[in-house]
Chains A and B, each alone.
Chain A
Amino acid sequence: MGSEEEKKVFDEEAASSLVKELRASFVNGKTRSFDWRVSQLKSMLKMIDKHETEIVAALRDDLSKPEHESTIYEIAMLRNSITLALKEIKHWIKPEKAIFFFQTVKTSLTTFPSSGEIVSEPLGVVLIISAWNYPFLLSLDPVVGAIAAGNALVLKPSEIAPATSSLLAKLVGEYMDFSSIRVVEGAVTETSALLEQKWDKIFYTGNGRVGRIVMAAAAKHLTPVLLELGGKSPVVVDSGINLQVSVRRIIAGKWGCNNGQACISPDYIITTKDYAPKLIDTLRNELEKFYGKNPLESKDFSRIVNSNHFTRLTKLLDEDKVSGKIVHGGERDKTNLKIAPTILLDVPRDSLIMSEEIFGPLLPILTVDKIEDSFGIINSGTKPLAAYLFTNNKKLRQQFVMNVSAGGLVVNDTTLHLAVHTLPFGGVGESGMGAYHGKFSFDAFSHKKAVLYRSFLGDAAVRYPPYTRGKLRLMKVLITGSIFSIICGLLGWSKV
C-alpha cells in the first residue's frame, strides 16, 4: 500500500451502484417517515449553526464573498427555508380533499357517490445539481424540499466553488443520514456519470447550455426535470420616481448580489433619453457611498469567480463598439479578479454584452424615446428569470405586468421576491421550467396522486353494453344535463 491513497474515479459503475443503494434505502420506507424528515431538517439546522464560520470562510475562499452577503443571502436564507419547512411540513404532507361541487355532481353523475383526495408522495431518488454563485444556498435549499417531500437524494455541488463543495461533502456526511443523502463532488466526468442513471427527478440550477444536456439525459429515462436557469433580467426605469431609493435598490440587486453574478441580478437598464443623465449621476453618487472612491479596494463585494469568467467579462468590455460607451468604472485588477462597477450607455443592441447574460459587474443602460418602447426591447429577447420596473405610473405598471413575460416580476425593487416563500421562484422559456421555495419546493419533489373512493352502490346500467339508443339518450343527459333534465331523462321524458 503506497503512502498516497489513490482517489477512486466516480464513473458510471460507481454512479449506478450509488443509485441502487439509495433506491434500496428509499424502498425500505425510511425517508417517507415524518420523523425521519423532521430529524434530517433539524440536523441541517444544527449543521449550519455549528459551522457558520467555516461556511463563511469557504464562501470567501471561493468567491471573496463579504461576510455580510454570505450571512444574509446564503446562511440566513437557508436557515429560514429549513425553519419554514419544519413549521409547515405537517400541513404540506396532508392529503388535499378534492371537492366535488354540486355542479360536478350534475355533470358526472356516473362518478357520484364518491369522494376524492390528492395525496402527496415522494418521487423516490432525486438528483440535485447546484451552481457556483450561491454554492451553499443553491445546494441545500433544494435539498430541504427533497427531504421534506420524503425523497432520497444525491447532491452534486459545483466544482467551480471547490471550498464550498468539499465543505458540503464533509458536513453532509457528518450530519445527514448517509443511507439516503449523499454528496458527489466532481466536474464533467462525475456529472455525466450521474446523468446516465435513472432518477425520479433532476433539479438543476445553472445555465441554458447545460440545462439542455440535463434535460436530454433525463429524456432517456422519462425523468421529470426542474431547471433554474438565467437570462438577461432587465430593469425599466421610469421618470417621476424616488430616484435615490430606486438606484440603491438597483445597486443592492446588482453589485450587492455576488457582484452581479446572480441569476436574478439586474442585467441591464432601459430608461428614456431624457432621464438617463440623472440616473447615471445618481448611480455614480450612490456607488461611491456604498463602495468608496476606489471600489477595487472595497471589501464589500465578491470578486469575479475565476479567470475564465474574468476573461469573458473583459472581452465584453473590450469589444470595439462597446469600449467607448463606458461612462463609469471599467477598471480591472486581473490578479485579484476584480472589475470595478462599470456603467455603459447605449451600447449597440447586437454587441456581445447585449447578446448574452452578463453575470458580472457591468451595467449597460439603453435609452428609448418613450418608456413604453422598453417592452418591445425586452420581448425581442428570450424570457428572463426576472424583470424589474421602477415607476409610480399605474398604467405603465399594468402594461408591464401584462406584457412582459419572465419568471417573476418586481415593481419598485429588485431581487426581493427570492426571499418571499409564498411566491413560486422559477423561470419560463429560456430561463427555465418549474418553480420552488416554500411549499413549492415540497411540491416540486412530490407526486400528487389522485385517489378516488367509489361506493359499490349507484351503478348506472347505462354504462354497460348492450348499448341501445335509449342508453345513448340517457348517457347524454347524465353527462351534460341539469338535475331537471336528468330526472326527465330517467323518466323517459327527455327530448334528446
Chain B
Amino acid sequence: MRELEDGLAELRQTFKSGRTRNAAWRKNQLRALIQLIHDKEDKIFEALLQDLGKHPVESYRDEIGIIEKSAVNALNCLEKWMAPKKSRLPLLFFPAKGEVMSEPLGVVLIFASWNFPISLALDPVIGAIAAGNTVVLKPSELAPECALFLAEFVPLYLDCKAIKVIGGGADVGEQLLQQKWDKIFFTGSPRVGRVVMSAAAKHLTPVTLELGGKCPVIVDTLSSPSDIKVTVKRVIGGKWGPCSGQACIGVDYVLVEEKFAPTVIDLLKKTIKKFYGDNPKDSKNICRIVNKHHFGRLHKLLKDPLVAASIIHGGSLDEEKLIIEPTILLNPPLDAEIMTEEIFGPLLPIITLNNIQESIEFINSRPKPLTIYAFTKDETFQRQIVSETSSGSVTFNDTMVQFACDELPFGGVGQSGFGRYHGKYSFDTFSHEKAILQRSFFPELEPRYPPWNDFKLKFIRFGYKYDYFNLLLLLMGLKK
C-alpha cells in the first residue's frame, strides 16, 4: 500500500511539473509505444498464445494492429486535438473572445480486462497520454503473461515517472480504488463497474465504464446466395473470431426468421468446418477459454437439460485444455441462463421468430447491449432498428469492424456502460474542456449594475433577446 501511495505521489509530482503538458513529450511517448510493439511483437504473440491460445493473426488484428493504428492516428492528430476551439459569441458580448481549451485531468487510472489484454490496456493509455495525463495501468491478472509483459516493458520504453503499470489481483484493484484519481477508465463486467463507480463517488472522480451485454445479430431473410455466404462468414468472424466469443462486442445470439433459419444453420455448420477444420478443438485458429472458472461457468450453461437438448452443433469440451468447440443451439429456453446472462464464450443460440420485425421488441425487452448487429438490405427496417432500439452502437451487415473505426465513438449505454473512446473521443475522455471567456474593459454596460431602475431592466430584457434594434432605440431614448 505504501509503495502504491509513493508511486501515486510521484505521478502527481510529474503532472505538477508540467512535463506531460507539452506536445513534444506526448508525441515521444506515443512514438515509444509504437517502438515497443514493433520491437517486442514476438513476445506479445507469445504472451497472448499463453494466456488465451490466441493465434498471431488474431493477435495482430485485434491487439497489436489496433494499438499501432491508434497510436499513429493520435500522433497525426495530436496538434489538432490540442488546439483550442473557438466559440462564436453573440454580439452583445462584443468585444470578447470565447474558446474551449482541452486540458489534462491529472492522474488517471485505467483498468484493463483479460480478453484483449494488450489492446484494451494500451488503447486507453494512448488517449490518456495524448491528453497529457499521467497514468496508472492495472492489467488484468487473468491474463498473467500479458500483465507481466506490460509490467516489464512499458517502463523501459515509456516515461516511468509518468506511466506506471501496477499488476495484481482484486486486492490490488481495491487498494487502487481507495486512492483519489482525476479519472478512472474501466473495461470489464457491470458487477465490477458498480464497485468502481461507487469507489469513484467518494472522491467525485469521473468514470468511463466500458461494459458488455448480450449483443444480438439480426439476420434478415436474404435472397442472394453470395450475401448469405458473406453474412454467415461475418457472423462466425464476429462470434468465434474474437477470442472465441469472449468479447464485449462479440456476437452473443442470433435472431432469424423460422423459415430462413435452416439455410443459415446449414451454412454456419459448413463454414465453421472450413474455418476450423474437422476437429475444431484441435484448431490453432481459435482461442481457448481463459481459465477454469469461466470454463466451468460456460459448461454450466450447457448443463441445463433443456439447453443441452437444443444443441444442434458442437457441444464438446476439453476440460484440460480449456477448449469448447464452436457450439450452436436452436431455441434454448428464453429464461435459461444462457439467454439471460452475457455468454462471453463460444456458444451461439439461434432464436427463431415468425417475423423478423419481432426482433426489435425482443431486443428492447432486454438490457441495452453494447452493440446491435443487423444483416439486412431493407432500408426501412434499418431505419427502424436505429430509431426503435437503443445500444452503444449499431453495425449493419458486418460484425466487429466498428471497433477499428477511429471516427466512431465506442462506448455503451444503460447496462453496457457510459462514456466513450477511440480516436478523438479517447483524447476527450481524458480531458477537461475548459471554457474561456476573454473580455475587454471597454465598452461598459451601465445597466449591469445597481441601483436598479426601469431603464436598466428594459435594457437587459432586450439584451437577452439579442434584440439590438430595440436596444438601440432605448439607448437613443426613442423607446418608452
A residues within 8 Å of B by Cβ? Answer: 27, 32, 66-68, 71-72, 76-77, 79-80, 83, 98-101, 103-104, 107-108, 110-111, 114, 116, 118-119, 121, 123-124, 200, 208, 211-212, 215-216, 218-220, 222, 224, 227, 229, 241-242, 245-246, 248-249, 251-252, 256, 290-292, 298, 300-301, 397, 401-402, 405-413, 416-417, 419-420, 422-425, 428-430, 432-435, 447-456, 459, 463-468, 471-472, 475-476, 479-480
Q: Smallest CB-CB separation from A246: which chain B residue?
A: B441
Q: Find out whether the CB atom of B204 lies under 8 angstroms from the CB atom of A452.
A: no
Q: Find out whether the CB atom of B408 lies under 8 angstroms from the CB atom of A450.
A: yes
A99-B407, A450-B409 as given contacts; A467 in contact with B58, CB under 8 Å:
yes
- In chain B, residues 252-274, which have Cβ atoms closer than 8 Å to a Cβ of chain A? none
Residue in contact with B87 in the complex, picked from A80, A114, A402, A423, CB distance below 8 Å: A423
Sample (28) of A-B pairs whose CB atoms are under 8 Å apart: A80-B465, A107-B72, A108-B405, A116-B402, A222-B414, A224-B418, A241-B441, A248-B448, A256-B448, A290-B450, A301-B450, A407-B435, A419-B464, A420-B437, A422-B87, A423-B100, A447-B390, A447-B413, A450-B393, A450-B402, A452-B393, A453-B396, A454-B395, A466-B283, A467-B284, A468-B57, A476-B65, A480-B69
Residue in contact with A465 in the complex, picked from B209, B283, B404, B405, CB distance below 8 Å: B283
B residues within 8 Å of A by Cβ? Answer: 21, 55-58, 60-61, 65, 68-69, 72-73, 76, 87-90, 93, 98, 100-101, 103, 105-106, 182, 190, 193-194, 197-198, 200-202, 204, 206, 209, 211, 224, 226-227, 230-231, 233-234, 236-237, 241, 275-277, 283-286, 364, 382, 386-387, 390-398, 401-402, 404-410, 413-415, 417-420, 432-442, 444, 448-452, 456-457, 460-461, 464-465
* A contact face: mostly helix, strand, loop, or mixed: mixed
User: A127–B395 Cα gap in the complex (Å)?
Assistant: 30
Residue in contact with A409 in the complex, picked from B88, B413, B436, CB distance below 8 Å: B436
Q: Find out whether the CB atom of A256 lies under 8 angstroms from the CB atom of B65.
A: no
User: A98–B404 Cα gap in the complex (Å)?
Assistant: 14
Identify the 8 closest CB pairs spanning chains A and B, nearest first: A467-B57, A219-B197, A215-B201, A465-B285, A408-B435, A450-B408, A68-B452, A454-B398
A111-B405, A219-B198, A472-B60 as given contacts; A77 in contact with B398, CB under 8 Å:
no
A407-B435, A411-B436, A423-B98 as given contacts; A290 in contact with B449, CB under 8 Å:
yes
A219-B197, A452-B401 as given contacts; A118 in contact with B396, CB under 8 Å:
no
Q: Smallest CB-CB separation from B466: which chain A residue?
A: A80
Q: Find out whether the CB atom of B402 lies under 8 angstroms from the CB atom of A452.
A: yes
Question: Which residues of chain A come closer than 8 Å to B233, judged between CB atoms?
Answer: 459, 464
A486 to chain B, nearest CB (A): 14
A208-B204, A218-B197, A406-B434 as given contacts; A104 in contact with B402, CB under 8 Å:
no
Question: Which residues of chain B come closer than 8 Å to A465, judged between CB atoms?
Answer: 55, 57, 241, 275-276, 283, 285-286
User: A118–B394 Cα gap in the complex (Å)?
Assistant: 10
Q: Find out whether the CB atom of A116 lies under 8 angstroms from the CB atom of B105.
A: no
Residue in contact with B464 in the complex, picked from A72, A397, A429, A448, CB distance below 8 Å: A72
Question: Which residues of chain A come closer than 8 Å to B449, judged between CB atoms?
Answer: 248, 251-252, 256, 290
Q: Find out whether the CB atom of A452 lies under 8 angstroms from the CB atom of B89.
A: no
Q: Find out whether the CB atom of B441 lies under 8 angstroms from the CB atom of A104.
A: no
User: A249–B440 Cα gap in the complex (Å)?
Assistant: 12
Q: Find out whether the CB atom of B435 lies under 8 angstroms from the CB atom of A425.
A: yes
Q: Find out whether the CB atom of A449 lies under 8 angstroms from the CB atom of B435.
A: no
A407-B435, A435-B433 as given contacts; A452 in contact with B452, CB under 8 Å:
no
Q: Smallest CB-CB separation from A451: which chain B residue?
A: B394
A118-B408, A291-B450, A423-B87 as given contacts; A200 in contact with B197, CB under 8 Å:
no
Q: Find out whether the CB atom of B101 lies under 8 angstroms from the CB atom of A401.
A: yes
Q: Smallest CB-CB separation from B55: which chain A residue?
A: A467
User: A121–B413 Cα gap in the complex (Å)?
Assistant: 11
Other A-B pairs, 15, CB within 8 Å; known A121-B390, A229-B204, A464-B233: A27-B364, A68-B450, A108-B69, A219-B194, A292-B451, A397-B438, A408-B434, A416-B93, A419-B464, A449-B392, A450-B408, A456-B226, A456-B227, A467-B58, A480-B72
Residue in contact with A464 in the complex, picked from B237, B433, B448, CB distance below 8 Å: B237
Q: Find out whether the CB atom of B407 lies under 8 angstroms from the CB atom of A100.
A: yes
Residue in contact with A411 in the complex, picked from B88, B234, B437, B452, CB distance below 8 Å: B437
Residue in contact with B452 in the complex, picked from A66, A435, A455, CB distance below 8 Å: A66
User: A241–B442 Cα gap in the complex (Å)?
Assistant: 11
Residue in contact with B209 in the complex, picked from A118, A222, A402, A405, CB distance below 8 Å: A222
Q: Find out whether the CB atom of A452 lies under 8 angstroms from the CB atom of B398.
A: yes
Q: Find out whether the CB atom of A227 lies under 8 angstroms from the CB atom of B437.
A: no
User: A123–B412 Cα gap in the complex (Å)?
Assistant: 11
User: A216–B201 Cα gap in the complex (Å)?
Assistant: 5
Residue in contact with B230 in the complex, picked from A32, A405, A434, A459, CB distance below 8 Å: A459
User: A123–B227 Cα gap in the complex (Å)?
Assistant: 34
Q: Find out whether the CB atom of B436 lies under 8 angstroms from the CB atom of A401.
A: yes
Question: Which residues of chain A come closer than 8 Å to B193, judged between CB atoms?
Answer: 222
A1 to chain B, nearest CB (A): 42
User: A124–B415 Cα gap in the complex (Å)?
Assistant: 13
Q: Find out whether the CB atom of B204 lies under 8 angstroms from the CB atom of A211.
A: yes
Question: Which residues of chain A come closer than 8 Å to B103, judged between CB atoms?
Answer: 405
Question: Which residues of chain A come closer than 8 Å to B21, judged between CB atoms?
Answer: 402
Residue in contact with A76 in the complex, picked from B234, B406, B460, CB distance below 8 Å: B460
Most chain B Cβ neighbours within 10 Å, of A222, A291, A411, A447? A222
B177 to chain A, nearest CB (A): 12
Question: Which residues of chain B come closer than 8 Å to A430, judged between CB atoms?
Answer: 204
User: A421–B7 Cα gap in the complex (Å)?
Assistant: 41
Question: Which residues of chain A come closer than 8 Å to B397, judged between CB atoms?
Answer: 453-456
Residue in contact with A466 in the complex, picked from B277, B382, B465, CB distance below 8 Å: B277
Residue in contact with A104 in the complex, picked from B60, B396, B407, B434, CB distance below 8 Å: B407
Q: Find out whether the CB atom of B450 lies under 8 angstroms from the CB atom of A80.
A: no
Question: Which residues of chain B come closer than 8 Å to A429, judged between CB atoms?
Answer: 106, 182, 204
A222-B414, A248-B449 as given contacts; A433 in contact with B435, CB under 8 Å:
no
A245-B444, A407-B434, A466-B277 as given contacts; A222 in contact with B405, CB under 8 Å:
no
Q: Find out whether the CB atom of B396 lies under 8 angstroms from the CB atom of A433.
A: no
B434 to chain A, nearest CB (A): 6
User: A121–B396 Cα gap in the complex (Å)?
Assistant: 18
Question: Which residues of chain B come closer than 8 Å to A71, judged between CB atoms?
Answer: 457, 460-461
Q: Smallest CB-CB separation from B197: which chain A residue?
A: A219
User: A79–B414 Cα gap in the complex (Å)?
Assistant: 32
Question: Which residues of chain B come closer than 8 Å to A423, judged between CB atoms?
Answer: 87, 98, 100, 435, 437
User: A420–B393 Cα gap in the complex (Å)?
Assistant: 32
User: A430–B182 Cα gap in the complex (Å)?
Assistant: 10
User: A212–B406 Cα gap in the complex (Å)?
Assistant: 34
Residue in contact with A479 in the complex, picked from B68, B283, B393, B405, CB distance below 8 Å: B68
Question: Which residues of chain A come closer than 8 Å to B415, judged between CB atoms?
Answer: 222
Q: Find out whether the CB atom of A449 lies under 8 angstroms from the CB atom of B439.
A: no
User: A216–B196 Cα gap in the complex (Å)?
Assistant: 10
Q: Find out whether the CB atom of B420 lies under 8 angstroms from the CB atom of A422.
A: no
User: A79–B442 Cα gap in the complex (Å)?
Assistant: 28
User: A449–B56 Cα gap in the complex (Å)?
Assistant: 32
User: A429–B104 Cα gap in the complex (Å)?
Assistant: 11
Residue in contact with B390 in the complex, picked from A222, A409, A449, A464, CB distance below 8 Å: A449
